[in-house]
Structure 1
């Protein structure tokens, strides 16, 4: 039982990173229909930004959090304004290819500036172990859990209780009708990219808290993609749940079936979900007349 509990907590912590990345995927796809394959590399950029700030700010978590969120949001908006908005009239495939190119550019810039060797982030929250019954948690792990919880609560309130959330849902449902209702769809798109940047910022900060940093950290986005599929590509909160589920399943697979199965279980789940419920658990089923 102790092993099960510890594997569950470990899976939840890693699942928080997957959840934040999946929420970024979903926020852009919900608003624009574009799969942003630069999400993981934006997370990588913010993780290294957190490392730089933590190294110069004597490990001040508040300053690192502020710098991470600012970097993620600003870079997200800049990417939309400089690269995606000029492609508005282009086919969807072209926009997706632009995001792949952006991913390569961001990763190359990070390697050029920081190098490819692993970097240890200075501790920001201490190393004292917190024990809840038989479960042991580091302060960094608890902080990651709290960051996801705060993100889910804020996202839920924004989409369900604010005018901005109504506008985003309207633009996602019917762009033409939203324009006729006086909603600025361009502004909605920019906000969607800003949100994706914020989620990438929190995911990058989580990586900085949990792992040593190297350019392969961006590959976590590929393991978070099954979470977005599971929750539904157009469901931001569904992506959060999907990330936690994938994280727990990976932890169980690694603990009970061997490390090799840990990397496979998410993609096996993708195949099953696409066969049974292709729109995900909370995705919107689209009906098209032909």
Structure 2
């Protein structure tokens, strides 16, 4: 297979990882208008917890899955209830600074409780190599792609057909009217944070399976944020597509221009798009009447 198509396919795989984290960003923002800059650190924390459990259980797959879900739910619920909820109604700048402080705290906690070295994740499944159309993949990379599409389809169905999902869309449109209809907005915020934490946790463990467990996992949040901006912060599925676009652009730039331009390329694309569509590719135009 040609060099271009190889770069493109691997870019899609990297973009799927960005897309999962970007979806987590967008889901929280869509419901509560909060940007969580600790998203990458949340996925890192879940990855470390899953890594420790995997060492104890010899990489038992079912225990790892249960650990990922349980740890993500607890982390998301605690952060929303204890840290974020008391700040609702405050200025956007205050909440942003709070999430940045949370990111710093989680990084320090991981370094203190575990260490700052990189470790190989004890893979239970997914370490085998497969070749498709002349391109070699890890099975775990294909699992990542499958989980990305399953997450996109699942969230689309959740937001469109479930009562909680419809209520979240209503809250995103007008929180005051939603509360007047007797819907608990705070509960919806909590659900959004928990779902976001589960998605981030899955992304963190998938990254650890493919690459390694280490503090660098947290940087994925920084690289996925432009993807959320590109797709549209108020568009959950758009953010996922933005992740694919950023991953492909980065990989092509690294392959044809130089590895040092990979991170820059994504931001350049975001800047160009925002010049023409300030609300992102799939975001909704905000119209204010005065």
What's the TM-score once normalised by structure 1's chain length? 0.96
Q: Deviations over 1:175-202 (max 9, x none)?
A: 1110111111011111111111011111
Q: Deviations over 1:228-259 (max 9, x none)?
A: 01110011111111111111111111111110
Q: Deviations over 1:33-61 (max 9, x none)?
A: 11100101001101111211221221223
The answer as to 2:180 corresponding to 1:202 is no
Taking the TM superposition and a 5 Å limit, the aligned residue runs for 1:110-125 are 110-125=110-125
Task: Return the offset for 1:122.
Answer: 1.1
Determine the structure 2 residue equivalent to 1:236: 236
Determine the structure 2 residue equivalent to 1:150: 150
In structure 2, runs of 5+ residues without a counterpart are none
Task: Return the offset for 1:128.
Answer: 2.6
SS in 1 for 2:118: coil
Task: Return the offset for 1:170.
Answer: 0.3
Determine the structure 2 residue equivalent to 1:159: 159
Task: Return the offset for 1:28.
Answer: 0.8
| Count of aligned residue pairs for this structure pair | 290
SS in 1 for 2:136: strand
Determine the structure 2 residue equivalent to 1:106: 106
SS in 1 for 2:83: helix
Taking the TM superposition and a 5 Å limit, the aligned residue runs for 1:58-73 are 58-73=58-73
Determine the structure 2 residue equivalent to 1:289: 289
Determine the structure 1 residue equivalent to 2:18: 18
**C-alpha separation in 2, matches of 1:61 and 1:141:** 16
**C-alpha separation in 1, matches of 2:127 and 2:161:** 38
The answer as to 2:259 corresponding to 1:280 is no
Determine the structure 2 residue equivalent to 1:141: 141
SS in 1 for 2:280: coil
Determine the structure 2 residue equivalent to 1:175: 175
Task: Return the offset for 1:126.
Answer: 4.7
Q: Deviations over 1:88-147 (max 9, x none)?
A: 232221111111111111111111111111111112215332111212111111111111
The answer as to 2:214 corresponding to 1:214 is yes
Determine the structure 2 residue equivalent to 1:267: 267
Determine the structure 2 residue equivalent to 1:251: 251
**RMSD of the alignment, in Å?**
1.2
SS in 1 for 2:131: strand
Determine the structure 2 residue equivalent to 1:44: 44
Alpha-carbon contact 1:50-1:205 (below 8 Å) kept = yes
Alpha-carbon contact 1:50-1:64 (below 8 Å) kept = yes
Alpha-carbon contact 1:59-1:123 (below 8 Å) kept = yes
The 3 A distance-change label for structure 1 pair 91 and 68 is same
